[in-house]
Amino acid sequence: MSVPDAVTLEAIGPMRRQNLGMVEPMSTNTGRWPTVPALIISAAERFGDVTAIVDGDKTLTFGELVEAAEIFGAALCARIEPGDRVGIWAPNCVEWVIAFLGLSQAGAVLIPISTRFEAHEASHLLSKGKVRALVTVTEFLGKDYVQRLGDRSHLPDLSTIIVAHGDVPEGALGWAEFVADVTPDLRSELRRRRETVRSDDPSDILFTSGTTGTPKGVVMSQSATLRVATDWVDMVGLRFGDRYLMLNPYFHMFGLKSGILASLSVGATMYPEPVFNVQRILERVQSEQITALPATPTVYQSILDYPDRDKYDISTLRFAVTGGADIPAELIRRMSEELHFETIVSGYGLTEGGTASSTVSGDSLEVIAHTNGWARPSYEIRIADFSGVDVPAGQSGEVLIRGGSIMSHYLDDPKSTAEVLSPDGWLRTGDLGRFDESGRLLIVGRLKDMFIVGGFNAYPAEIENALLRHPDILQAAVIGIPDHRLGEVGAAFVILRKGATTTSDEIISWCRHEMANFKAPRVVEIVETLPLNASGKVLKHVLRASLATESSN
């Protein structure tokens, strides 16, 4: 078995590799842990010889993974204090997991950074978060993240850079060099620190996507972060012996909490993927007998559309998890019938509040596609008008949530915190939704995206979902634009399916027959791509600017 250089230390002891076939069920003791360090230690105790992670030719058991994390965390203890913030700017890999589990035990707070960020975006997070140490790479898709940061004079708090992969520039430390000087005293210090972590201490600071303004740092407590992970396990049925292919990036809540921590809680094996490539995904599903494949709707669509898909045996896939307000019912049907998922779950969540609602086992394909399910057991959900008064079922309003895994606050931003978090714990999500007659939640758009057509409220997500019923439309994004008669009307940007020749006028005509007049877009632009932010969300202000530029020319 091959082990990463980062963890080939004598302290790890002899390496043991578990047979990668399906393991027998066993008790997983999935009771809630008070802190992330408590979960880490529990995982080592319960699943010591079980394979925890497979990253190329690097394989570690849970015992070896936690040992490597303790060594990394001990090295951190020489350079940071409890409560300091540590950033990780790297793709999904075994070192990402080790660094996160190590810094958590050292009493540090994680600030993950998107691999899609440019230097100025990453620098903003590092500066605002007063990050003391950064784990990163110098070779990923042609990018050297250390070089992009420049001379770092604009980052006075950043004192240590650890390079997990790639050449090590002057002023940085290679991983092996960083952990080489760990002493018994530092390991004792690590154990002392992890025992002092409390459930209400901050665990991580994830920054919002910034689609409507400057990203805000969402501070989550240890207990809230763990509730995201363990509730997700209950929601989807992740279990001991599952083989979890991790396409969702670790810098996102999904990959971090519903990925790494969820796997630790039940003893599922992690298979990190740094980039999405359909052929590689199908090869890994077949060779590793993957059972869990959570992903975005676009990923499942790409797999379904892959011309050589039938050459691969993907029969081990058991469950899929996806989300969003614009999942075509046809996609859910094909996932069930052609990819043979036993369970498909759709949910609604946000960085500030975890996963607040989900469908459940046994729900119909239509329910999975067109609703976001019921409130999770620890959540309350309300739909309220702009004055905060609840509206009747069937009527749209702002989604408010309470309980579950609500953030503590926005980092250094009491004004924004007070605007969204009430004294009695209700979080204003900024999302628009409604309840159907069965009490299921339907997300219809963002509050700031809603536009008014001749006095009628129009919700972009609802119109986008309708557009996806068109047989030639693969993706769609809708915005409101000024209109001299109606105030505002809809403009749609659509990506056509391969080989489709539908015109904009034909789509507009179709819309007038398929949806209420006020919802039907008056403008349709056929495009090759949609502008996305680092989290994969459509940048609608860029779409507005593109139309404004066209109209001025």
Q: Look at residue 228 in the predicted model and tell me its pLDDT.
A: 95
What is 452-552's CATH number? 3.30.300.30
Give the DSSP H or E segment for 234. helix 222-236
**28 to each of 17, 31, 47, 69, how far by Cα in Å?**
20, 9, 9, 21
DSSP 50-111: SEEEEETTEEEEHHHHHHHHHHHHHHHHTT--TT-EEEEES-SSHHHHHHHHHHHHTT-EEE
203 SS3 class: strand
Quick count: other Cβ atoms within 10 Å of Cβ 278?
16
What average pLDDT is seen over the chain? Answer: 90
368 SS3 class: helix
Place of tokens 């006075």: 156
SS3 of the chain: helix, strand, coil, percent, to 5? 35, 25, 40
Place of tokens 């969003």: 324
Place of tokens 């403009």: 491
Instruction: Evaluate if residue 28 carries a pLDDT over 80.
Output: no
Nearest C-alpha neighbor of 540 from the set 248, 211, 60 = 211
What is 276-446's CATH number? 3.40.50.12780
CATH top class, domain 5-202? alpha beta
pLDDT band at 49 (very low <50, low <70, confident <90, very high): very high
Measured distance CA(241)–CA(194) in Å, rounded: 28
Measured distance CA(402)–CA(423) in Å, rounded: 11
Instruction: Evaluate if residue 53 carries a pLDDT over 50.
Output: yes
DSSP 130-193: TEEEEEEES-BTTB-HHHHHTT-TT-TT--EEEEEES---TT-EEHHHHHHT--HHHHHHHHHH
> Between 534 and 333, where is the model more confident?
333
- Mean of pLDDT values over 491-519: 94
Instruction: Evaluate if residue 212 carries a pLDDT over 60.
Output: no
Nearest C-alpha neighbor of 355 from the set 235, 244, 439 = 235
Instruction: Evaluate if residue 25 carries a pLDDT over 50.
Output: no
Q: Look at residue 324 in the predicted model and tell me its pLDDT.
A: 64
Q: Look at residue 387 in the predicted model and tell me its pLDDT.
A: 87
Instruction: Evaluate if residue 550 carries a pLDDT over 50.
Output: yes
Measured distance CA(106)–CA(83) in Å, rounded: 9
pLDDT band at 296 (very low <50, low <70, confident <90, very high): confident
Instruction: Evaluate if residue 13 carries a pLDDT over 70.
Output: no
Q: Look at residue 328 in the predicted model and tell me its pLDDT.
A: 77
Instruction: Evaluate if residue 516 carries a pLDDT over 90.
Output: no
Domain with CATH 3.30.300.30 in the chain: 452-552
Q: Look at residue 539 in the predicted model and tell me its pLDDT.
A: 87
pLDDT band at 121 (very low <50, low <70, confident <90, very high): confident
pLDDT in tens, 56-69: 999 999 999 999 99
Place of tokens 């299921």: 440
CB contact at 8 A, 327 and 333: no
Measured distance CA(388)–CA(153) in Å, rounded: 46
Instruction: Evaluate if residue 4 carries a pLDDT over 50.
Output: no
Q: Look at residue 538 in the predicted model and tell me its pLDDT.
A: 86
Q: Look at residue 534 in the predicted model and tell me its pLDDT.
A: 61
Instruction: Evaluate if residue 448 carries a pLDDT over 90.
Output: no
Domain with CATH 3.40.50.980 in the chain: 5-202
Domain with CATH 3.40.50.12780 in the chain: 276-446
**21 to each of 38, 237, 241, 288, 294, how far by Cα in Å?**
28, 19, 9, 9, 21
Query: Is the entire prediction scored with pTM above 0.75?
Result: yes
Q: Look at residue 7 in the predicted model and tell me its pLDDT.
A: 35
pLDDT in tens, 397-429: 999 999 989 999 999 999 999 999 999 999 999
Q: Look at residue 105 in the predicted model and tell me its pLDDT.
A: 98
- Mean of pLDDT values over 70-75: 98
**164 to each of 34, 74, 75, 269, how far by Cα in Å?**
30, 17, 14, 22
Measured distance CA(266)–CA(29) in Å, rounded: 8
Which residues have C-beta within 8 Å of that of residue 516, sequence separation ≥ 6? 456
pLDDT band at 14 (very low <50, low <70, confident <90, very high): very low
Which residues, in sequence order, are bridge partners of residue 358? 347, 374
Query: Phi and psi (nearest 5°) for 238?
Result: -60, 140
- Mean of pLDDT values over 521-527: 96
Residues in the chain: 553
